[in-house]
Amino acid sequence: MADLFALLVQTGNGLGVQSGVIATAGQNVANANTPGYSRQIANLVANPALGAFGASAVGTGVSLQSITQARDQFVERQIPTALASQSYSQSENSALQSVTALDPDLPGGLPSTLGAFYSSLRTLSQNPGDIASRQAVIGTSQALARSFSQTVSAIEDARTGIDARIAGDVSDINATAKQLSALNKQIQIVKASSSVPNDLMDQRQAAVDKLAQLTGGTPYTNSAGDISIALPGGTALVTDSGAGQLSVVADPANGGHFALQLVRADGSGPVALPVSSIAGEVGGFVAARDGAMKTAITSLDQFAFDLGTSLNAIHSAGYAMDGTTLRPLFTIPATAPGAASQISVNASVAADPRLLAAATTLPAASGDNRNILALIATETQALASGSNPDSSLQQIVTSFGNSTAQAKAFADHDGALATHLTQLRDSTSGVSIDEEMINLTQAQKTYEAMTKVIATTDTMLDTLLSLIVG
């Protein structure tokens, strides 16, 4: 009789275990479309034999040993780096793609206004005394100066827009780092009660992925299971003791654009965070802002300075219709920095087209076009940079275009790699409805079979009791 009662107890425990299996499958099905959810597995283990029937030992049923997550650690370790690279290249690419000011086909852009300027000089050379032609040269000169300013302004606006994106990302980074630190503590509390906090671990993994995307941070797990985040270069953002906090500050050395500072997890700082210590989306934005965009502005400043200096030297040596000389055509700063945004037509020339210096001798006869021809000759002459104006501008446009194309190529490559690894993770950790339906059916059939065992055992007990009583 004791064996029959033991059989009832073991089967009753088994019903509880199968209920746990069904509940686990139900949890998986309910979260099949939940982002970041990892499929849970009910791990069953046979109970050891405590007694024997005849010469054979018989076990004592089944136990639900644990409910764990389905994760491929080999794939998991590769994902943060892949996500960081993808976010870096995609943010750099999107930032550079948004700049259209250097499009060679842009109406009113530098290539077209530079060509129009020299074309108006050639028209004036045919009749240097014609006031209308002189006014046309002033107009194209002003358009050229305005195009320089507008091109640089558009790129600077894009850089300022990136600053806003960086500031937004910094807020997300700080919130996520704080969340990760809090989850570490919550998970330890749950573990101390001998439970497995699978849902909290999913939230923590999502926070790790987000920090990798935003900062390029690498996760490290200590012996207690806490996850820390180290930024590129080794600076700690999250430690087992807490989370650091990023902030942005205007950098006078970079035109007032944002630089990053970090208050460490222990509360010390803030300390300047070098560019080499940030990657991910923020790093990609910084690379675009202070890489190809800044280089383009520097190159445009140098080009405007060199072109203006060359044209001014010739124009100042010529004579206006009133016989005056030593008058520059453009007003430019003393050095190259800022030249593209500050270049303008000499105010006196702009006010009086007769002050254009077309002649090379006095008296400045209306038919003397030799100084105009000298201005036209600069179109094919090397500037201080070593190239003629058209080639100099083409180099700037081509260099920016190459940087943009390279960023797109990296974005496509890194995106494909991250997608592949994410799909591999999903194939292991994602929920398959078909598989869960099979698990549910198996658990249901097992449950029904165990109720049959209970019913049979109950019948056997009734028979045995009737024999004893009888």
Please check whether residues 156 and 168 belong to one and the same domain: yes
Let me know if residue 114 belongs to a domain: yes
The mean pLDDT of 413-428, rounded to a whole number, is: 93
Residue 259: domain span = 73-299+378-429
The mean pLDDT of 301-312, rounded to a whole number, is: 98
pTM equals 0.88
SS (H, E, C) the chain: CHHHHHHHHHHHHHHHHHHHHHHHHHHHHHCCCCCCCCCEEEEEEECCCCEEECCEEECCCEEEEEEEECCCHHHHHHHHHHHHHHHHHHHHHHHHHCCCCCCCCCCCCHHHHHHHHHHHHHHHHHCCCCHHHHHHHHHHHHHHHHHHHHHHHHHHHHHHHHHHHHHHHHHHHHHHHHHHHHHHHHHHHHHHCCCCCHHHHHHHHHHHHHHHHHHCCEEEECCCCCEEEECCCCCEEEECCEECEEEEEEEHHHCCEEEEEEECCCCCCCEEECHHHCCHHHHHHHHHHHHHHHHHHHHHHHHHHHHHHHHHHHHHHCECCCCCCCCCCEECCCCCCCHHHHCEECHHHHHCHHHCCCECCCCCCCCCCHHHHHHHHCCCCCCCCCCCHHHHHHHHHHHHHHHHHHHHHHHHHHHHHHHHHHHHHHHHHCCCHHHHHHHHHHHHHHHHHHHHHHHHHHHHHHHHHHHHHC
Let me know if residue 234 belongs to a domain: yes
Please check whether residues 148 and 234 belong to one and the same domain: yes
Residues 185-206: tens digit of each pLDDT: 999 999 888 888 999 999 999 9
Q: How confident is the model at residue 1 (pLDDT cuts 50, 70, 90)?
A: low
Let me know if residue 113 belongs to a domain: yes
Does pLDDT of 20 surpass 90? no
Let me know if residue 338 belongs to a domain: no
Let me know if residue 270 belongs to a domain: yes
Residues 30-53: tens digit of each pLDDT: 989 888 899 999 988 888 776 555
Q: How confident is the model at residue 131 (pLDDT cuts 50, 70, 90)?
A: very high
Please check whether residues 47 and 96 belong to one and the same domain: no
Please check whether residues 172 and 53 belong to one and the same domain: no
The mean pLDDT of 412-438, rounded to a whole number, is: 92
Please check whether residues 420 and 459 belong to one and the same domain: no
Residue with tokens 């090379």: 360
Please check whether residues 266 and 119 belong to one and the same domain: yes
Please check whether residues 128 and 29 belong to one and the same domain: no
Please check whether residues 82 and 114 belong to one and the same domain: yes
Does pLDDT of 14 surpass 80? no
> In this structure, are residues 222 and 240 in contact, taking their beta carbons and an 8 Å threshold?
yes
Number of domains in the chain: 2
Please check whether residues 53 and 140 belong to one and the same domain: no
Let me know if residue 320 belongs to a domain: no
Let me know if residue 370 belongs to a domain: no
Q: What is the mean pLDDT of the chain?
A: 91
CB atoms within 10 A of CB 190: 15
Let me know if residue 324 belongs to a domain: no
pLDDT of residue 214: 98
Residues 246-281: tens digit of each pLDDT: 999 999 999 999 999 999 998 888 999 999 999 999
Please check whether residues 93 and 222 belong to one and the same domain: yes
Please check whether residues 112 and 188 belong to one and the same domain: yes
Please check whether residues 33 and 60 belong to one and the same domain: yes
Please report the sign of the dihedral spanned by the C-alpha atoms of residue 332, residue 337, residue 338, residue 339: positive
CA distance 313 to 378: 11
With pLDDT > 70 as the criterion, what percentage of the chain qualifies? 94
